[in-house]
Amino acid sequence: MKKGGIPKFVIYALLIACCSIPLFFKIPIPNKPSDPSVDFYKTLSALKEGDVVLLGSDWTGSTRGESKGHMKAILRTLMRKNVKFVIWSSADPQSPRAALDVIAEVNAERVANKEEKFQRWTQWVSAGFYPNADVAINAVAQDVRTAFGSRRENDTNGVQQQIFKSPVMQKIKSVTDFDLVIDVTASKTTDFHVQFISAKNVPLMFAVTGVMVPETQVFYNSNQIKGFIGGLKGVFDMEQMMEKGINVKDANGKIAVASDKISGEIAPLPGVSVGQGTKYYPTLHVALLLMIIMIGIGNYEMISARKRQKGNG
Amino acid sequence: MNDTIWARNPQGDLKMFIGGGLILGIVLFFGVMQTPIQARRPLVWLVTFLSGGFMVAYTYWPKPINFDAKTELPKNGVETVGSFLQQSFGVVSSFVQIIAAFLLGLGIFSLLRIHLMNIARQKKDWVFSVILLVSMLSMIIFGYWDFMIRQGEKAVDFDDPQFWRMPNMVRDFLFDGLLQQMDAAMFSIIAFFILSAAYRAFRARSVEATILLGTALLVILSLMGVVAGAWDDKVAALAGDGKTGSADFIMNFKITEVAGWLKNTFQTPAITGIKFGIGLGTISMALRIWLGLEKGGKA
């Protein structure tokens, strides 16, 4: 088939222009969070002070547009609720560093906001990276004390100790002792988590990239996971729910973020909640709109060409 | 006390375990090297069969619940085997992870061999080989240097960049400044291909393609808050606030409802079916490898 009329460089230039321009303006966008996002936030909100979360970080710079936003939103929520967490990775050797950098960023944000820094060892620990995701996740599901047993961290006195001596891990004897397992991922670790960890009846949730949403929806529909946030929309959903709560009326009696998944309301989470989701969501809008326009033009050209051929024939 | 050898803490007798492991590794290495070529394939198959057999046994053999091997004795043969499998699993998993980690070493060795040869023989584009090796060595050196500084000075808060020294800054520049940015840049290039492909290839050439196009457009529109909000408000206004059957029917045409219906009714069963097929294929492939039926598995 003959190639379309618009040259590639024009399409590319249009994309660059359309994606860059919204970054310079603050554009408020109405939003209705998706059901899986609401369930995700509802489960996070139900955590109590002192609960312990196993937080998988299985993403790298390539998907940071989505995954970093997920990670930040989750960390902000956990830290504000004083929920302890254990970070670990099994998908990519870069992942632990990426996660540690985000924790440092959120901590810096807390310090700037006159909140207390979330302390390593007493409030969170890192169990590091484990090669071979399926075996690693299975090992954690079967016997977390053996799987993480050899990992060490500096305690508050600077002495290296096994992470199980940390206050974070005090009550952890098996994976079922975690109050929640979350995996921020851009890879197949979702399948292994469902296969091995969900089978132990531990509450499980995912933060996945946009392209992974359809397959993650399967686990959500079958109730194997409590909820999930997907892609940039997921980041925006989280930031909106943290900032404005769910079903909370403002001074004019209007509800900013409404959901019929919640019978009552969930109050906003005080502190800095808005971030890259709110910043990039207008860009996503424009990019999707541009895609629809390009599909329309392409189809119009095809129909015109067919009509011309018929006319000539 | 009913500890298997696997349940012992290697850190208690670290030197003995390292020495023993080293000697055993050397013996195994030379043993395999001396094995006739005809016997190597059956040997590989035997190891594969035993490893696979362990995982099958672990999955299907009944295991005692709430059994403490340190204070209890198994009641019968079934419990003895179940307890052994339970205690051994962590160590077998560690074996697999250690072997996987060795692949990293093998990869580094292979990279060094190929690119050092390229440089030595000044093959075409040998300059890129120099860049690759320099990048790899810089990341290794500054990565470990940064790690050693962080471990050595425990009182310093290295989350705060004002306490960083040269190696910490270089590590940050290499990892966050270069690697992460290049990763993101490579991935974002996909957007250009997607847009170009949407224009050139996403066309309603047949009935099936038109259905696909229509559903894709609906799902895309449902992701756009502005469109979804306006559409849903319009539908709600059309339905009015009456609790009649027709109002309920009209509410089904909210774009979020339509997109949800498409996802739950068509997408989820389709993906489940595909995954089921992949699962069956994986089982048959695993059985072929495990039983040595796959070419190359057994002589």
Convert the pLDDT of each residue in B120-164 to its tens digit.
999 999 999 999 999 999 999 999 999 889 877 777 778 778 889
Domain co-membership, A225 together with A303: no
CA A193 to chain centre: 16
Domain co-membership, A102 together with A120: yes
pLDDT in the model for residue B127: 96
Domain co-membership, A150 together with A284: no
Mean pLDDT, rounded, for A265-277: 87
**Both ends of chain B: CA-CA distance in Å?**
44
With a cut of 70, say whether residue A3 has pLDDT above it: no
CB contact under 8 A, B199 and A11: yes
pLDDT in the model for residue B173: 94
Work out the pLDDT band at A264, boundaries 50, 70, 90: confident
Mean pLDDT, rounded, for A249-266: 86
Domain co-membership, A69 together with A86: yes
Q: What are the φ and ψ backbone dihedral angles of B142, each rounded to 5 degrees?
A: -75, -30
With a cut of 90, say whether residue A207 has pLDDT above it: yes
B residues 16-55 near A, CB within 8 Å? Answer: none
| Contact between A203 and A179 (Cβ < 8 Å) | yes
With a cut of 50, say whether residue B92 has pLDDT above it: yes
pLDDT in the model for residue B5: 58
CA distance linking residue A33 with residue A30, whole number of Å: 10
Mean pLDDT, rounded, for B67-75: 80
DSSP B277: H
Question: Looking at CA atoms only, how far is residue A244 from chain B in angstroms?
Answer: 16
Which residue of chain B is at minimal alpha-carbon distance from A298? B199
Domain co-membership, A112 together with A68: yes
Of the partner residues B179, B192, B223, the one whose CB lies closest to the CB of residue A233: B223
> CB distance from B191 to chain A under 8 Å?
yes
Contacts of A11 in chain B (CB under 8 A): 192, 195-196, 199
Domain co-membership, A11 together with A45: no
Domain co-membership, A132 together with A90: yes
Q: Who contacts B58 (Cβ-Cβ below 8 Å, separation ≥6)?
A: B85, B89
Question: Looking at CA atoms only, how far is residue A268 from chain B in angstroms?
Answer: 20
**Closest alpha carbon to A34 in A265, A243, A260:** A260
With a cut of 60, say whether residue B2 has pLDDT above it: no
Count interface pairs A-B at CB distance under 8 A: 158
Domains identified in chain A, total number: 2
Work out the pLDDT band at A250, boundaries 50, 70, 90: confident
Sign of CA dihedral B28, B32, B35, B39: positive
pLDDT in the model for residue A5: 83
Maximum mean pLDDT: which of A138-152, A202-216, B40-54: A202-216
- Best residue in A292, A297, A306, A309 for a mutation probing chain B (most B CBs within 10 Å): A292
pLDDT in the model for residue A273: 82
pLDDT in the model for residue B299: 43
With a cut of 90, say whether residue A176 has pLDDT above it: yes
With a cut of 50, say whether residue A1 has pLDDT above it: no
Domain co-membership, A4 together with A109: no
pLDDT in the model for residue A99: 94
Mean pLDDT of chain A: 91
Mean pLDDT of chain B: 87
Question: Looking at CA atoms only, how far is residue A146 from chain B in angstroms?
Answer: 6
Q: Residue A199's domain spans which residues?
A: 31-273
Sheet strands (E) in A4-142: 52-58, 84-89, 124-129
Share of chain B above pLDDT 70, in %: 93
**Higher pLDDT residue, A208 or B66?**
A208
With a cut of 70, say whether residue B298 has pLDDT above it: no
Which residue of chain A is at minimal alpha-carbon distance from B63? A142
pLDDT in the model for residue A102: 94
With a cut of 60, say whether residue A175 has pLDDT above it: yes
pLDDT in tens, A289-301: 999 999 999 999 9
With a cut of 70, say whether residue B107 has pLDDT above it: yes
Question: Looking at CA atoms only, how far is residue B166 from chain A in angstroms?
Answer: 18
Give the three-class secondary structure for B296.
coil
pLDDT in the model for residue B1: 43
pLDDT in the model for residue B21: 82
Last residue of a domain, one of A273, A288, A303: A273
Mean pLDDT, rounded, for B30-35: 87
DSSP letters, B196-208, are HHHHHH----SHH
Residue B30: Cβ-neighbour burial (10 angstroms; 0-12, 13-18, 19+):
exposed
Domain co-membership, A105 together with A250: yes
**Closest alpha carbon to A213 in A4, A63, A75, A11:** A63
Interior/surface letters A236-272, b for 16+ CB within 10 angstroms, e for the rest: bbbbbbbbbbbbbeeeeeeebbbbebbeeebebbeeb
Maximum mean pLDDT: which of A166-180, B61-75, B235-249: A166-180
pLDDT in the model for residue A126: 94
CB contact under 8 A, A285 and B224: yes
Which residue of chain A is at minimal alpha-carbon distance from B171? A97
Mean pLDDT, rounded, for B278-283: 94
Lowest mean pLDDT among A19-23, A212-216, A221-225, B191-195: A19-23
pLDDT in the model for residue A4: 54
| Contact between A176 and A201 (Cβ < 8 Å) | yes
With a cut of 80, say whether residue B91 has pLDDT above it: yes
Domain co-membership, A295 together with A208: no
Work out the pLDDT band at B100, boundaries 50, 70, 90: confident
Give the three-class secondary structure for B157.
coil
Which residue of chain B is at minimal alpha-carbon distance from A155? B154
Mean pLDDT, rounded, for A80-103: 93
Which residue of chain A is at minimal alpha-carbon distance from B152? A158
| Contact between A71 and A57 (Cβ < 8 Å) | yes
Contacts of A149 in chain B (CB under 8 A): 90
pLDDT in tens, B200-259: 989 999 999 999 999 999 999 998 888 988 998 899 898 886 667 788 888 889 998 999
Lowest mean pLDDT among A81-95, B53-67, B210-224: B53-67
Mean pLDDT, rounded, for A17-32: 87
pLDDT in tens, B159-194: 778 889 999 999 999 998 999 999 999 988 999 999
Domain co-membership, A280 together with A219: no
Domain co-membership, A259 together with A294: no
pLDDT in the model for residue A68: 95
